[in-house]
Amino acid sequence: MSTTTVTDTNSTTAVAMVNVQINGTWHKFPKGTRMIEACRQVEAQVPHYCYHPKLSSPGNCRMCLVEMGMPPRPAAGTEPEKDAHGFAKIGWSPRPVIACANTVADGMGIRTEGKLSEECRRGVMELLLINHPLDCPICDQAGECRLQEFSVEHGNGESRFREEKVKKPKNVDIGPRIRLDDERCIMCSRCVRFTAEIADDPVLGFTERGSHTTLAVHPGKRLENNYSLNTVDICPVGALTANDFRFQMRVWFLKETKSICTKCGRGCNTEIGSREKEVFRQSPRENNDVNSTWMCDQGRLDFHFVNSEYRLTQPLIKVDGKHFAAAWKEAITKTADALNSAKPEEIAIIASARMTNEELYLVKSLARSLKVDQLDVVPRTGGADNYLRADDLNPNSNGVRTILGIEPGSKLPQIIENIRGGNVKVLLVFGENVMKAGLDAADLQKVNFIAQSHILANSTAEQSHVVLPSSSYAEKRGSMINVTGRLQRLNQAIESPGEAHDTWEILRDLILAATGSNGLHSVDDVFKQLAGEFEIFRGITLRGIGDQGIPILQTNESVPILVREAERKKQGIIVG
Amino acid sequence: MSVESVQYLPGKQPHARERRLTFRNVDRAGFDPSIECYLRDGGYEQLHKAVTMERQAIINEVKASGLRGRGGAGFPTGVKWGFIPPTNTKPVYLICNADESEPGTFKDRYIMHQDPHQLVEGMVISCFAVKASLAYIYIREEFPEAAKILEKALDEARAKNFLGKNILGSGYDLEIYIHRGAGAYICGEETGLIESLEGKRPYPRIKPPYFPAALGLYMCPTIVNNVESLCHVKHIIAMGGAEYAKLGTPNNTGTRILCVSGDVQRPGYFEVEVGKVTMGEVINDMCGGMKSGRTLKAIIPGGSSAKVLRADEKFKLKDGRELGIMDIPMDFDTMAACGSMAGSGGVIIMDDSRSMSWVLNNLNAFYAHESCGQCTPCREGSLWMKKISDRIVAGNASPSDVDELERLANNIEGRTICAFGEACSWPTQSFVQKFREEMKAGTKSEIEDRIVAGETELAAAGLVG
Ligand SMILES: Cc1cc2nc3c(=O)[nH]c(=O)nc-3n(C[C@H](O)[C@H](O)[C@H](O)COP(=O)(O)O)c2cc1C
Ligand code: SF4
Ligand code: SF4
Ligand code: SF4
Ligand code: FES
Reference A565, options A270, A233, A229, A289; nearest CA is A289
pLDDT band at A250 (very low <50, low <70, confident <90, very high): confident
Is the minimum CB–CB distance between A571 and chain B shorter than 8 Å? no
What torsion, rounded to 10 degrees, do the Cα atoms B452, B454, B457, B461 define?
-120
Beta A374-377 vs B248-249: how paired, if at all? unpaired
Nearest atom, ligand 1, residue B99 CA: 8
Domains plus CATH for chain A? 17-123 (3.10.20.740), 165-307 (3.30.70.20), 316-560 (3.40.50.740)
Question: Any idea where the domains of chain B sit in the sequence?
Answer: 35-245, 249-351, 356-446
Nearest-by-Cβ selection for B373 from A120, A158, A210: A210
Q: Which of residues 173-212 of A touch B (CB under 8 A)?
A: 186-187, 205-206, 208-212
Residue A13 confidence (pLDDT): 57
CA of A114 to the centre of ligand 2 (A): 29
Q: What is the DSSP letter of A216?
A: E
Protein residues whose CB sits closer than 6 Å to any atom of ligand 2: A 185-191, 215, 235-237, 239-240
pLDDT band at A4 (very low <50, low <70, confident <90, very high): very low
Distance in angstroms (rounded) separating the CA atoms of residues B341 and A339: 94
Residue pLDDT, tens place only, A462-508: 999 999 999 999 999 999 999 999 999 999 999 999 999 999 999 99
Average pLDDT value for residue range B119-132: 98
Quote the percentage of chain B above a pLDDT of 70.
Answer: 96
Instruction: Give the DSSP per-residue string, A25-53.
Output: EEEEEETT-BHHHHHHHTT-----SS--T
Measured from the Cβ of residue A271, the count of other Cβ atoms closer than 10 Å reads: 16
Is the confidence at residue A194, as pLDDT, over 80? yes
Residue A252 confidence (pLDDT): 85
Amino acid at A125: M
Measured from the Cβ of residue A232, the count of other Cβ atoms closer than 10 Å reads: 25
Nearest-by-Cβ selection for B375 from A62, A123, A205: A62
Average pLDDT value for residue range B26-53: 97
Cβ <8 Å between B373 and A211:
yes
Average pLDDT, chain B: 95
Distance in angstroms (rounded) separating the CA atoms of residues A125 and B415: 13
Cβ <8 Å between A210 and B184:
no
CA of B377 to the centre of ligand 4 (A): 8
SS3 B383: helix
**Structurally, what CATH architecture does the domain formed by B356-446 represent?**
Up-down Bundle (1.20)
Nearest-by-Cβ selection for A127 from B209, B377, B451: B377
Is the confidence at residue B257, as pLDDT, over 90? yes
Distant-in-sequence contacts of A515-519, Cβ < 8 A, 24+ apart: A515/A366, A515/A369, A515/A370, A517/A365, A517/A369
Distance in angstroms (rounded) separating the CA atoms of residues B420 and B431: 17
Distance in angstroms (rounded) separating the CA atoms of residues A560 and A562: 5
CB A383 within 8 A of CB A264: yes
CB under 8 Å to B49, separation ≥6 — which residues? B237
Reference B178, options B159, B155, B201; nearest CA is B155
Is the confidence at residue B458, as pLDDT, over 70? no
Nearest atom, ligand 4, residue B379 CA: 7
Report which secondary-structure segment, H or E, holds B364: helix B356-370
Inter-chain CB pairs, A–B, below 8 Å: 106
Chain A positions touching B209 (Cβ under 8 A) are 101, 572
A5 exposure class (CB count in 10 Å sphere: 0-12, 13-18, 19+): exposed
Residue B460 confidence (pLDDT): 57
Residue pLDDT, tens place only, B41-50: 999 999 999 9
Residue A372 pairs in a beta bridge with none
Angle at which helix A503-515 crosses helix A357-370, to 10 degrees, equals 20
Residue A513: φ, ψ to 5°: -70, -35
Reference B59, options B132, B143, B3; nearest CA is B132
Report which secondary-structure segment, H or E, holds B122: helix B116-130
The CB of B6 under 6 Å from ligand 1? The reply is no
Higher pLDDT, residue A335 or A159:
A335
Cβ <8 Å between B368 and A211:
yes
Instruction: Give the DSSP per-residue string, B269-294.
Output: EEEEETTTSBHHIIIIIIS-SBSTT-
Residue A77 confidence (pLDDT): 84
CA of B299 to the centre of ligand 4 (A): 25
Is the minimum CB–CB distance between A32 and chain B shorter than 8 Å? no
Q: How long, in residues, is chain B?
A: 465
Residue A148 confidence (pLDDT): 87
Residue A2 confidence (pLDDT): 39
Residue A543 confidence (pLDDT): 96
CA of A101 to the centre of ligand 2 (A): 19
Average pLDDT value for residue range B71-85: 97
Reference B361, options B335, B385, B389; nearest CA is B389
Search chain B and give the residue with CA nearest A132.
Answer: B380
Cβ <8 Å between B411 and A123:
yes
CB B63 within 8 A of CB B76: yes
SS3 B94: strand
Is the minimum CB–CB distance between A57 and chain B shorter than 8 Å? yes
The CB of A450 under 6 Å from ligand 3? The reply is no
Distance in angstroms (rounded) separating the CA atoms of residues A503 and A489: 16
Ligand (nearest to CA of B126): 1
Is the full-model pTM beyond 0.90?
Answer: yes
CA of A52 to the centre of ligand 5 (A): 9
CA of A305 to the centre of ligand 5 (A): 40
CB B67 within 8 A of CB B187: no
Instruction: Give the mutation target among B185, B195, B374, B383 for probing the ligand 4 site: most ligand atoms within 8 A of CB.
Output: B374
Cβ <8 Å between B411 and A59:
no
Q: What is the DSSP letter of A194?
A: I
In degrees, to the nearest 5, what angle opens at C-alpha B349 toward C-alphas B343 and B353?
145
Dihedral sign computed on CA atoms, order B226, B228, B229, B234: positive
Q: Specify the fold of B35-245.
A: Rossmann fold (3.40.50)
The CB of B23 under 6 Å from ligand 4? The reply is no
The CB of B370 under 6 Å from ligand 1? The reply is no
Residue B2 confidence (pLDDT): 44
Residue A133 confidence (pLDDT): 87
From residue A570, give the alpha-carbon distance in Å to each of A10, A30, A34, A106, B341.
19, 14, 14, 21, 42
Task: Provide the ipTM.
Answer: 0.93
Average pLDDT value for residue range A286-294: 98
Question: Rounded to 5, what percent of chain A is helix, strand, coil?
Answer: 30, 20, 50
Residue A8 confidence (pLDDT): 43
Q: Which CATH number fits domain B249-351: 3.30.450.40, 3.30.360.10, 3.30.70.590, 3.10.20.600?
A: 3.10.20.600
CB B215 within 8 A of CB B224: no
Residue pLDDT, tens place only, B380-429: 999 999 999 999 999 999 999 999 999 999 999 999 999 999 999 999 99
Residue pLDDT, tens place only, B366-382: 999 999 999 999 999 99
Is the confidence at residue A548, as pLDDT, over 60? yes
Measured from the Cβ of residue B459, the count of other Cβ atoms closer than 10 Å reads: 12
Helices (H), B249-343: 279-280, 332-337
CB under 8 Å to A276, separation ≥6 — which residues? A494
Residue pLDDT, tens place only, A419-442: 999 999 999 999 999 999 999 999
CB A430 within 8 A of CB A359: yes
CA atoms within 13 A on the CB side of A60: 22
Protein residues whose CB sits closer than 6 Å to any atom of ligand 5: A 48-51, 59-64, 98, 100
Residue pLDDT, tens place only, A39-86: 999 999 999 999 999 999 999 999 999 999 999 988 888 888 898 899
Q: Which of residues 61-80 of A touch B (CB under 8 A)?
A: 61-63, 65
pLDDT band at B459 (very low <50, low <70, confident <90, very high): low
Distance in angstroms (rounded) separating the CA atoms of residues B194 and B102: 18
Average pLDDT value for residue range B272-292: 98
The CB of B72 under 6 Å from ligand 1? The reply is yes
CA of A99 to the centre of ligand 5 (A): 7
Distance in angstroms (rounded) separating the CA atoms of residues B240 and B253: 13
Cβ <8 Å between B206 and A57:
yes
Nearest atom, ligand 1, residue B229 CA: 26
Residue pLDDT, tens place only, B157-205: 999 999 999 999 999 999 999 999 989 999 999 999 999 999 999 999 9
Rg (CA), chain A: 29
CB B179 within 8 A of CB B197: yes
Search chain B and give the residue with CA nearest A63.
Answer: B376
Reference A459, options A483, A437, A427; nearest CA is A437
Residue pLDDT, tens place only, B301-337: 999 999 999 999 999 999 999 999 999 999 999 999 9
CB A166 within 8 A of CB A211: yes
Reference A281, options A547, A501, A503, A493; nearest CA is A493
Report which secondary-structure segment, H or E, holds B127: helix B116-130
Average pLDDT, chain A: 94
Cβ <8 Å between A209 and B371:
yes
> Which of A162, A163, A168, A192 should be substituted to probe chain B, the one whose Cβ sees the most B Cβ atoms within 10 Å?
A162
What torsion, rounded to 10 degrees, do the Cα atoms A337, A342, A343, A347 define?
-90
